[in-house]
């Protein structure tokens, strides 16, 4: 079964083509476009490229198209990308303005260009469907909750991949299989050996998730991707009273305050240097104190959220680092785990130093009670697998 994964941004379009069966997922092709103004033209060019390279005979040979939709009003999970999905994306377009309109447009374009090919949306919130009401509710008036304001959690595809792959690496096939079937059968009851994972997705956009026996029990990100850890240029957690105070004192509008929190905050706002951790680390080496502050705040936030989920789950068998920073910054990983020896965390400095540039591995010492893993992110593969399962079951 040939599955095309479409990753759409406000001005970008990236794709991967997979050949899937029950036991294997082979990537056939990948590509992308920047400064996109017309998705239809991109889709047409992509199909011509895939045919020209011999991956397809025609666009109709594609068995399904999968979309990594972010946030839908009153809708989550792995679902057919139909009118209901478009309505859900429209309902929260103000909350995810860089993603929802783009995906709605992309879904419509694929429906027009390949009308007979099934379309499937895997929402980034899907992995958090089974959080308890205590975990996802804010202490806000009922009228606010009726609008859908709650903690949703994001980076679901990445954390789901961590849940499955960490279980495989630690020899817990029962949990791994539970994760594979999660969106098909739901979590059900679990009676196997415990596997509690602190999953740290650290990149341009970062989040921490607690995963108990393959199921997310909480998320650092909240109503939007704005909450939780400081992002590359988004603020992360912020006391709500800061916004009206800043508007009054600086004489700016709420809209301008929101723009600054989304575009000029996070690592960029703290460092004053860049929103890229690599540039910030270079500035630290040059003695820039604000750059050091940016990394220190990020590390403190990671430890704060990981510690909260550790307490909530009553412990952990593994800590996992994934995504660009998590996979490549050995110093940051060591700092996050520093001083945790009494909890059972023992980093192997040599293994940690070697685990860069997409290398998978266990970076804790053999006698570490809590294992520390590096798992390269592979969100597109997760989407392809879920689309395959969805289409096969239909």
Question: What DSSP string runs through 268-333?
Answer: HHHHSS-SSHHHHHHHHHTT-HHHHHHHHHHHHHHHHHHHHHHHHHT--SEEEEEHHHHHH-HHHH
Say whether 233 counts as a known binding-site residue: no
Answer yes or no: are the C-beta atoms of 325 and 318 closer than 8 Å: no
Rg of the chain (C-alpha set):
21
Q: Which pair of structure tokens corresponds to residue 181?
A: 């079937």
> Strand, coil or helix: what is 185?
helix
Q: Which two tokens stand for residue 107?
A: 């879904």
Nearest to 387 by CA among 20, 10, 15: 20
Q: What is the enclosing helix (H) or strand (E) of 187?
A: none
Nearest alpha carbon to residue 393 among 181, 141, 115: 181
Judge whether 379 is annotated as a binding position: yes
Ligand-binding site membership of 108 (annotated): no
188 is in an annotated binding site: no
> b/e string for 285-304 if b means 16 or more Cβ within 10 A?
eeebeebbebbebbbebbbe
Query: Which positions ≥6 away from 123 have C-beta within 8 Å?
Result: 69, 70, 71, 72, 75, 76, 77, 78, 79, 156
Q: How far is CA 353 from CA 134, 153, 211, 268, 274, in A?
A: 39, 31, 26, 26, 25
Write a three-state SS string for 349-375: HHHHHHCCCCCCEECECCCCCEEEEEC
DSSP characters over 218-275? EES--SSTTSSS--SSS--S--TTHHHHHHHHHT--HHHHHHHHHHS-HHHHHHSS-S
Q: Any binding-site annotation on 375? A: no
Q: Is 278 annotated as a binding residue?
A: yes
Residue 177 is labelled as binding a ligand: no
d(CA 336, CA 373): 13
Across the beta sheet with 196-201, the strand order is 215-219, 207-212, 196-201, 318-322, 371-374, 361-362
User: How many angstroms from the chain centroid is the CA of residue 201?
Assistant: 7
- Asked whether residue 362 is marked as a ligand-binding residue, the answer is no
Contacts of 79 by beta carbon, 8 Å cutoff, 6+ apart: 85, 120, 121, 123, 390
> Is 327 one of the annotated binding-site residues?
yes
Specify binding-site residues for ATP. Answer: 14, 276-278, 324-328
Specify binding-site residues. Answer: 7, 14, 276-278, 324-328, 379
Specify binding-site residues for Mg(2+). Answer: 7, 379
């Amino acid at each position: 079964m040939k599955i095309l994964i479409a990753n759409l941004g406000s001005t970008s379009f990236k794709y991967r083509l997979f050949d899937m069966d029950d036991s294997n997922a082979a990537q056939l092709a990948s590509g992308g476009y920047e400064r996109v103004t017309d998705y239809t033209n991109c889709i047409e060019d992509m199909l011509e490229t895939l045919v020209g390279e011999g991956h397809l005979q025609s666009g109709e040979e594609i068995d399904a198209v999968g979309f990594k939709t972010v946030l839908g009003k009153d809708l989550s999970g792995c679902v057919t990308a139909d009118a209901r999905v478009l309505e859900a994306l429209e309902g929260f377009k103000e909350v995810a303005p860089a993603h929802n309109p783009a995906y709605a447009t992309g879904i419509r374009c694929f429906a027009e260009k390949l009308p007979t090919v099934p379309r499937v949306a895997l929402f980034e919130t899907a992995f958090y469907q089974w959080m308890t009401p205590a975990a996802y509710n804010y202490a806000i008036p009922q009228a606010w909750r009726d609008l859908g304001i709650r903690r949703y959690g994001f980076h679901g595809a990445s954390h789901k991949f961590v849940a499955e792959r960490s279980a495989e690496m630690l020899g817990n096939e029962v949990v791994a299989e539970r994760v594979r079937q999660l969106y098909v059968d739901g979590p059900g009851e679990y009676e196997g050996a415990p596997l509690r994972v602190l999953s740290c997705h650290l990149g341009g956009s970062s989040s921490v998730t607690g995963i108990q026996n393959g199921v997310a029990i909480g998320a650092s990100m909240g109503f939007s991707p704005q909450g939780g850890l400081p992002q590359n240029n988004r603020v992360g957690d912020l006391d709500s009273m800061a916004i009206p105070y800043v508007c009054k004192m600086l004489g700016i509008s709420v809209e301008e305050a929101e723009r600054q929190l989304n575009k000029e905050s996070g690592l960029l706002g703290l460092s004053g240097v860049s929103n890229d951790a690599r540039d910030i680390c270079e500035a630290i080496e040059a003695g820039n104190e604000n750059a050091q502050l940016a990394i220190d705040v990020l590390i403190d936030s990671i430890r704060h959220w990981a510690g909260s989920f550790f307490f909530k789950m009553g412990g952990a068998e593994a800590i996992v680092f994934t995504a660009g920073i998590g996979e490549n910054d050995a110093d940051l990983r060591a700092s996050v785990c520093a001083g945790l020896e009494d909890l059972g965390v023992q980093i192997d400095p040599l293994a940690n130093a070697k685990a860069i540039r997409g290398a998978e591995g266990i970076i804790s010492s053999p006698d570490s009670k809590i294992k520390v893993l590096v798992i390269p992110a592979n969100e597109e593969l997760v989407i392809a697998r879920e689309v395959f399962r969805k289409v096969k079951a239909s």
